[in-house]
C-alpha cells in the first residue's frame, strides 16, 4: 500500500514533493502524490497577512492528514506556523538549501526604483537599505511573479534562492546576504508533516537531517517567544550555533537585532524573550497598522 503525500499544486511545491517521494522510493516505499488547493493559492490578489499569513498554505494540508485523506504533506518549513494542531508530527526536516533571498533584476542595481514582494520582512529590509526604492505588493507563484517582472510592472522582485535552485532557474540579479537581509525563520528547509503515528513517522526518519532540524528548531523557538504572527517584520537565522534575530519597523526606519550563541533551545528562548521586550513597540505598531488596513 502506497503512502499518500499531499502538496500544493505550484511548480515549486511539486518539485519539493518529488524530492521527498524520490527519496522514499529509493528506500522501497511506494508513494502517491495528492494535490490540494489551499486558500492562499486561490486568493492571490490580497496581501498575505490579510488572509492569515504563511499558515494559510498549511491548514488545508493539515486537515487532509487529520481527516485521513493523505498520510503526510510536504511544506516549505518557513510556511508552518508555530501553533500546530494536535495529532500531527514534523517527521522529517531535509538538509537545508540556501537560506538567502535573491533580488532578481536585469537592470543595474542603482537603476532599481520599484521592487515587488508580499513579505513584510522583505519590504522592511529593502526600505532599510540605501536603495531609493518603492516596494509594491506582489503575490503569486514564481512563474507569475517573473512574468510581471518581464512585463515591466517591477524593476526587481525578491525570491528565495532555494526555490530558484530547486526549479533550476539561473536568473540575473543580486544575492542578499543572510547576515544583513536576515531570512524568515526556517527559510530554505523542506519539512514533512504526518499524523502522529509511530509507524508512519518511522518511514520518514531516514530523510531527517540532524543539523538542519537542530538549527530550525532554534529559529522556531525564537519566533515563538517573539510572537507577532504574520504582522511582524522578523528575520531569524541560525547557522553552526550562531544566531541572528531581528525585528524591524514596517517602513525599515528602525530595528532591533540580537547576535548571540544559539546552540540550545533554552538559549534561543531567552534571546526571543529579550528581543520581544526591546522590540515590543514595533511588534504592536505592525499589528495595529496591518489589522486596520485589512
- Rounded CA-CA distance 67/15 in Å is 25
113 is catalytic: no
200 is catalytic: no
- Catalytic one among 8, 121, 166, 213? 121
- Rounded CA-CA distance 253/35 in Å is 41
254 is catalytic: no
121 is catalytic: yes
- Rounded CA-CA distance 122/117 in Å is 7
- Catalytic one among 8, 96, 128, 139? 139
- Catalytic one among 78, 123, 128, 166? 78
- Rounded CA-CA distance 87/68 in Å is 11
- Rounded CA-CA distance 285/194 in Å is 36
Q: How far is CA 33 from the centre of its chain?
A: 22
- Catalytic one among 62, 71, 79, 101? 79
79 is catalytic: yes
Strands (E), the chain: 3-7, 31-35, 72-76, 88-93, 101-104, 114-116, 134-136, 156-160, 173-176, 190-195, 234-239, 242-248, 255-261
What is the per-residue burial (b if ≥16 Cβ within 10 Å, else e) of 249-259? bbebeebbebe
Active-site residue set? 78-79, 121-122, 139, 145, 230
Amino acid at each position: 500500500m502506497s503512502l499518500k503525500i499531499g502538496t500544493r499544486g505550484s511548480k515549486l511545491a511539486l518539485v519539493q514533493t518529488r524530492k521527498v517521494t524520490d527519496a522514499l522510493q529509493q528506500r522501497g516505499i511506494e508513494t502517491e502524490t495528492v494535490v490540494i488547493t489551499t486558500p492562499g493559492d486561490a486568493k492571490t490578489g490580497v496581501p498575505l497577512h490579510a488572509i492569515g499569513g504563511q499558515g494559510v498554505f498549511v491548514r488545508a494540508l493539515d486537515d487532509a492528514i487529520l481527516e485521513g485523506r493523505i498520510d503526510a504533506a510536504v511544506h516549505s518549513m518557513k510556511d508552518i506556523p508555530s501553533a500546530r494542531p494536535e495529532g500531527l508530527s514534523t517527521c522529517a526536516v531535509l538538509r537545508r538549501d540556501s537560506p538567502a533571498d535573491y533580488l532578481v533584476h536585469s537592470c543595474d542595481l542603482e537603476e532599481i526604483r520599484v521592487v515587488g514582494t508580499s513579505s513584510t520582512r522583505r519590504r522592511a529590509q529593502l526600505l532599510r537599505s540605501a536603495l531609493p526604492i518603492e516596494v509594491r505588493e506582489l503575490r503569486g507563484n514564481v512563474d507569475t511573479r517573473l512574468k510581471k517582472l518581464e512585463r515591466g510592472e517591477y524593476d526587481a522582485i525578491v525570491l528565495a534562492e532555494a526555490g530558484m535552485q530547486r526549479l533550476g532557474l539561473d536568473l540575473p540579479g543580486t544575492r542578499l546576504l543572510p547576515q544583513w537581509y536576515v531570512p524568515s525563520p526556517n527559510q530554505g528547509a523542506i519539512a514533512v508533516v504526518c499524523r502522529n503515528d509511530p509507524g508512519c513517522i518511522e518511514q520518514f526518519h531516514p530523510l531527517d537531517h540532524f543539523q538542519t532540524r537542530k538549527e530550525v528548531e532554534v529559529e522556531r523557538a525564537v519566533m515563538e517567544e517573539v510572537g507577532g504572527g504574520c504582522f511582524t517584520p522578523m528575520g531569524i537565522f541560525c547557522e553552526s550555533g550562531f544566531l541572528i534575530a531581528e525585528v524591524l519597523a514596517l517602513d525599515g526606519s528602525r530595528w532591533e537585532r540580537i547576535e548571540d550563541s544559539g546552540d540550545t533551545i533554552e538559549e534561543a528562548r531567552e534571546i526571543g524573550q529579550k528581543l520581544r521586550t526591546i522590540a515590543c513597540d514595533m511588534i504592536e505598531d505592525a499589528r495595529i497598522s496591518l489589522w486596520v488596513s485589512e
